[in-house]
Amino acid sequence: MVDSLFSNIEQIYSFHVSLLVKMKESGNDLLNVFLPMEDDEWIELYTIYCNNYTNAIKTLEKYCQDPHFKAFFLGCRLLMSQEISLEGYLLVPIQRICRYPLLLAEVLKTFDENDPLYTKAWMAKERVKRLAELVNEAKRREENEKRFLQYKDLFDIEIDFTGNNQLIQLSSAKKISHRKTQTRLLFLFNNILVYTKPLSRKKYSVRGIIPLDQLAAFDVADGTNLYGIELHNAWRLERNDTLYPKTYHVIMSSQKEKSDFLSRLKEAQELLS
Q: Is the pLDDT of residue 152 over 80?
A: no
8 Å CB contact between 226 and 176: yes
Can you give the pLDDT at residue 203?
Answer: 84
What CATH number is given for 167-272 in this structure? 2.30.29.30
Alpha helices in 153-196 (DSSP H): none
* Greatest pairwise CA separation for the chain in angstroms: 84
8 Å CB contact between 121 and 127: no
Can you give the pLDDT at residue 200?
Answer: 81
Return the SS3 of 86.
helix
Which of the two residues, 147 and 264, has the higher pLDDT score?
264
Using CA atoms, how far apart are residues 218 and 234, in angstroms rounded to an integer?
9
Lowest mean pLDDT, pick from 56-60, 63-67, 152-156: 152-156
Residue range(s) in the chain whose domain bears CATH number 2.30.29.30: 167-272
Q: Is the pLDDT of residue 149 over 70?
A: no
pLDDT tens sequence across 93-119: 888 777 888 888 888 888 888 887 888
Using CA atoms, how far apart are residues 155 and 46, in angstroms rounded to an integer?
33
Q: Is the pLDDT of residue 6 over 80?
A: yes
Average pLDDT for 168-186:
91
Can you give the pLDDT at residue 160?
Answer: 72
Using CA atoms, how far apart are residues 103 and 110, in angstroms rounded to an integer?
12
> How many C-alpha atoms does 200 have within 13 Å on its Cβ side?
6
Q: Is the pLDDT of residue 176 over 60?
A: yes
pLDDT tens sequence across 237-266: 999 988 888 999 999 999 999 999 999 999
Q: 2-152 sits in which CATH class?
A: mainly alpha
Whole-structure pTM over 0.75, yes or no? no
Residue range(s) in the chain whose domain bears CATH number 1.20.900.10: 2-152
